[in-house]
Amino acid sequence: MRELLGNFKIPGDKIVLTLALVLIFVFFSMLNINFISTTNIINILLAASLTGLVAIGMTYLIIGGHIDLSAGAIVAFSGVLAGILSTNFAMPFPLVLVIILLTGAGVGVFNTIMVTKIELNPFIATLVTQSIFRGFAYILNDGRAIPIRDSAFTGFGTTRWWGIPIPVILLVALFIIFGVVLAKTTFGRNVYVVGGNKEAARLAGLNPNRIALKNYVITGVLCALGGVILAARMGSGQPAASMGLEFDAITAVILGGVSFAGGVGSMFGTVLGVLILQSFNTGLIMVNVPTFWQFVARGVLLLLALSFDFIRKKAREKKVLEDSMKKV
Amino acid sequence: MPGNANVLQFKQITKYFPGVKALDNISFRAKAGEVLAFLGENGAGKSTLLKILNGDYRPTGGEYLINGEQRKFRNPKEAIDAGVSVIYQERQVLMNLSVAENIFSGRLPSKMLGFVDKAALYEQTRSIIQEFNLDIDPFALVKDLSIAYQQMVEIMKAYSREQLSIIAFDEPTASLCESEIESLFGIIRKLRDEGKIIIYVTHRMKEIQSIADKVAIFKDGMYVGTVIPGEVSEKEMINMMIGRDLGDIFNELERNEEIGDTVLSVEQLTTDYVKDISFSLRKGEILGFSGLVGAGRTEIVRGLIGADVMKGGQVLLEGRRIRCRSPKEAMEQGIVLVPEDRKTQGILPNLDVGGNISVATLKKYALFGDLVNSEKESEVVEKGIRDFKVKTPSRYKKILELSGGNQQKTIIARWMSTDPAILILDEPTKGIDIGAKAEFYKMICDFAKKGISVILISSELPEIIGLSDRIIVLKSGKIAGEVLREDASEEVLLSLAMLDT
């Protein structure tokens, strides 16, 4: 572990994002001192846990040159299915969890087959999945929410260890695990390779389809886990839950510096993106910004971040050029 | 004044890029009615100068004048509107449009209400195609044409513009066969006689002799001087551009004299693109694949390594029957391919030099199943950079910032790190300057001496004749003949590649 994290430092291009996060905290704390309370920070993290889980998968997918628009639908579908298995079939929670995670993996396989075997564009393919699984989420319990009575199940969303809710602990653990996998394993490295140039990657002896499969399965499983957590927290599986969740995740991932063109990005950036987005959201609510304006504010935040990235990139290119003029 | 510019003048043009001074105080002029060739190694600044001329780059210093009038094109469109066209190495055609639509894009003939006048479009396109002496259907889709024809479409597009007064060709013959080159030269001479200013960038001495009236020589971003080909020998020109003599480069190579037994035999290999191809390869042998572009050279090796699906036939590696369903499986069998198109198939553009080398072997020495072994990776990368003399300040340099030759060395380092038994090189020296080519030739002979069997695909006849122990000539997806080293000559190869038997 020490070897993996011992030399961890904030990468240069993430300093601005880190500062932005700090700035958001300072700003909202000045407007409302409760913002910086432990309770609120835990609330922010709890609220971030769902977007965060999806954002982990999305980081892999987008770096690898794909995307998944079915995330929100899978979360809702998993929640309802979990509710039915638990309440109507009285299955013990661990069994429910295993079945749901396998189902999530299955959805990932389904997405992969559409993308690699019938060569659908990932946008279109996962739009298909989104529609189908949102439909099933409604069909399963005839459009109604399914209450969950098993306390082991609901406890999964509400129990706290050392004062910290389980979903938050899980999120932190998964961020670390998937961050290390992305940065330190050959699989993680190959995600970047494939996202940069698929044909060159194939001729270089990689199997792009297998990497796509892993990425979609990871995302599917994480979405399914997210569905279970959400259902546990709300005490019911709700078919209309998490509409548009995939776009929150994509926003966070892009905010964190992942290139939409593929091949570039890091898990640490995604962590920052998720935290910035969620603390910004919570802050807006706490200082009573009207809901509709919150959407506008979020758009502006993303635009600012991307413009800033662009300006920095240009400045860096200019500096490199000037340096070389001095040298020669 | 479009249409009749007769002098193009560069004055003290300087251009900096990150890390390099690409052009250093360039001054000279080109006149109408003559073909001015640009001669120089890659990185000498020829292409950069063209990109300044067509508005793609802005010069850091200096200016250029057309007929005494200073011009400052801000983008290629402004240059085109002013009558300046550049035909690049990389084709800029729109693949999904027809030949006619490509040639007349932006100025399609129209009827009432803005509908495209298809009949007029067809006629206009057909007459240009006829002038070029080619056999293309005006409404054929460009993606269905051979690379050579795609390039012709681009040239026809520039040619069809009425106001064209300056036309520059950036190595236009890289993928053309002899007859295509001849018809191109015919067109160039015609343009010249019409009073256009022609700039012709090339590496090939032979072409300079046959097409250039004058030669402007570049070296390391500097303009060395202009010479007239008839008055100065090839040797002198090469000396001006590289400062050394490469005349006997092939004779100086130390070839592998101990060719072993057959290691690979391919029997009736069939894919969607080639049919019933049989050949064998011996240990330490350099086997050349010659033939026109599109004759099936690349398609054979793609079938062999599983990049294309093999539909029939069999492959025996040291007597063992193997079947590679992907380049990955071929690599595991020790068969690797350095692909033809470095930019789209070779380099991994978002990675650094190190990542580009280690990608093929990373998995082999991973720890605990999949963890990157950084120490071993560094070792492989450093060795690759050292062994293949990749010129880079560090392994962390982005590969896109290296020259074409060094990118190619990086790709070769990648594949040699897998310790292959059979190395397939597809146009390994395409777009690489003469100095670096010599290094590659030596490298290829060294591979053979180490017992590696090499399949070399090349459009450059001197290269394939100079290096190969045996040459297989392909024509229209079939083997047209096999020639031993001692019998090989440009005439023999060309007649096999082009004549009906």
Q: At what angle do helices A291-327 and A267-286 cross, to 10 degrees?
A: 140
pLDDT of res. B5 = 58
Place of tokens 């026809």: B156
Residue B20, chain A, CB below 8 Å: the answer is yes
Single-letter amino acid, residue A278: Q
Separation in Å, CA of B38 to nearest CA in chain A: 24
Could you tell me the pTM of the whole model?
0.77
Q: Do A317 and B60 touch (CB under 8 A)?
A: no
Closest alpha carbon to B454 in B332, B276, B335: B335
The C-alpha atoms of residue B390 and residue B410 are separated, in whole angstroms, by: 6
Partner residue facing B19 (CB), from A192, A206, A324: A324
Say if B140 is an interface residue toward chain A (CB within 8 Å): no
User: How distant is the Cα of A189 from the closest Cα of chain B, in angstroms?
Assistant: 8
Q: How far is B384 from chain A (nearest CA, A)?
A: 16
Q: Is the Cβ–Cβ distance between B478 and B276 less than 8 Å?
A: yes
Give the pLDDT confidence score for residue B452 in this predicted structure.
95
Q: Do A186 and B331 touch (CB under 8 A)?
A: no
The minimum CA-CA distance between B366 and chain A, rounded to whole Å, is: 7
Q: Are B264 and B422 in contact (CB under 8 A)?
A: yes
Partners of residue B371 in chain A, C-beta under 8 Å:
184-186
Kindly tell me the sign of the dihedral angle through the C-alpha atoms of B453, B459, B465, B471: positive
Q: ipTM score of the complex?
A: 0.78
| Distance (Å, whole) CA B127 – CA B130 | 5
**A7 has pLDDT over 70:** no
B147-159 vs B178-193: helix crossing angle, rounded to 10: 10
Chain A CB contacts of B372 below 8 Å: 184-186, 189
Chain A (210-239) residues lying within 8 Å, Cβ to Cβ, of chain B = none
Percentage of residues of chain A with pLDDT beyond 70: 94
Q: Which of A200, A207, A320 sits opposite B348 (nearest CB)?
A: A200
Mean pLDDT across the stretch A68-90?
94
Contact B17 A189 (CB under 8 A): no
- The rounded distance, in Å, linking the Cα atoms of B158 and B152 is 10
Note the pLDDT of residue A2.
Answer: 45
For chain B (length 501 residues), average pLDDT per consecutive 10?
69 79 88 90 80 90 90 88 81 85 85 85 90 85 82 84 85 75 84 90 82 89 89 82 62 85 93 91 94 84 92 91 91 92 86 92 88 92 92 85 84 94 91 77 93 91 89 89 88 77 51
Q: Distance (Å) from the C-alpha of residue B337 to the closest C-alpha of chain A?
A: 8
Amino acid at A312: R
Inform me whether the pLDDT recorded for A108 exceeds 70: yes
A205–chain B Cβ distance below 8 A for any pair: yes
Give the Cα-Cα-Cα angle A82, A87, A89 (nearest 5 degrees).
90
Chain B residues within 8 A of A185 when measuring between CB atoms = 366, 370-372
pLDDT, position A184 = 93
CB neighbour list of residue A179: distance below 8 Å, 6 or more residues apart: A266, A267, A268, A271
Query: Given an 8 Å threshold on Cβ–Cβ distance, is A185 in contact with B366?
Result: yes
Determine contact, residues A279/A36, Cβ cutoff 8 Å.
no
Mean pLDDT, rounded, of chain A: 89
B343 touches chain A (CB under 8 A): no
Q: Give, rounded to a whole angstrom, the gap between the first and last alpha carbons of chain B.
A: 53
Q: What is the DSSP letter of A113?
A: I
Task: Over range A113-123, report the average pLDDT.
Answer: 92
Choose the weakest-confidence range: A1-15, A165-179, B153-167, B347-361.
A1-15
Contact state of B307 with A202 under an 8 Å Cβ cutoff = yes
Most A CBs within 10 A among B344, B348, B381, B396, hence the mutation to make, goes to: B348
Closest residue to B366, CB basis, from A186, A201, A320: A186
Of B343, B344, B324, nearest to B335 (Cα)? Answer: B324
Task: Tell me how far apart the alpha carbons of residues B498 and B473 are, in angstroms, rounded to a whole number.
Answer: 10
Taking alpha carbons only, the member of B184, B186, B193 closest to residue B202 is B184
pLDDT value at residue B488: 86
What confidence score (pLDDT) does residue B177 get?
A: 73
- Chain A interface includes B338 (CB < 8 A): no
Q: Indicate the SS3 state at residue B460.
A: coil
Q: Please report, rounded to a whole number, the percentage of residues in chain A having pLDDT higher than 90.
A: 64
Instruction: Tell me the chain A residues in contact with residue B377 when contact means C-beta distances shorter than 8 Å.
Output: none
Kindly write down the DSSP assignment for every residue of B408-476, as one continuous string.
HHHHHHHHHTT--SEEEEESTTTT--HHHHHHHHHHHHHHHHTT-EEEEE-S-HHHHHHH-SEEEEEET
B201 and B431 Cβ atoms separated by less than 8 Å: no
User: Is B371's Cβ below 8 Å from some Cβ in A?
Assistant: yes
Q: Does A203 touch chain B (CB under 8 A)?
A: yes
Q: Which residues of B touch A182 (CB under 8 A)?
A: none
- Strand boundaries in A241-319, DSSP class E: none
Q: Beta strand B453-457 with B286-291: parallel, antiparallel or unpaired?
A: parallel
**Tens of pLDDT, residues A264-293:** 899 999 999 999 999 999 999 888 888 899
Of the candidates B328, B344, B347, the beta carbon closest to that of A206 is on B328
Cα–Cα distance, A153 to B501 (Å, whole number) = 80
Residue of A nearest to B372 (CA): A185
SS (H, E, C) B254-271: CCCCCCCCEEEEEEEEEC
CB contacts, 8 Å: B355 with chain A: 189, 192-193
Sign of torsion over alpha carbons B82, B84, B87, B88: negative
Mean pLDDT on A100-112: 96
Q: Identify the pLDDT of residue A228.
A: 96
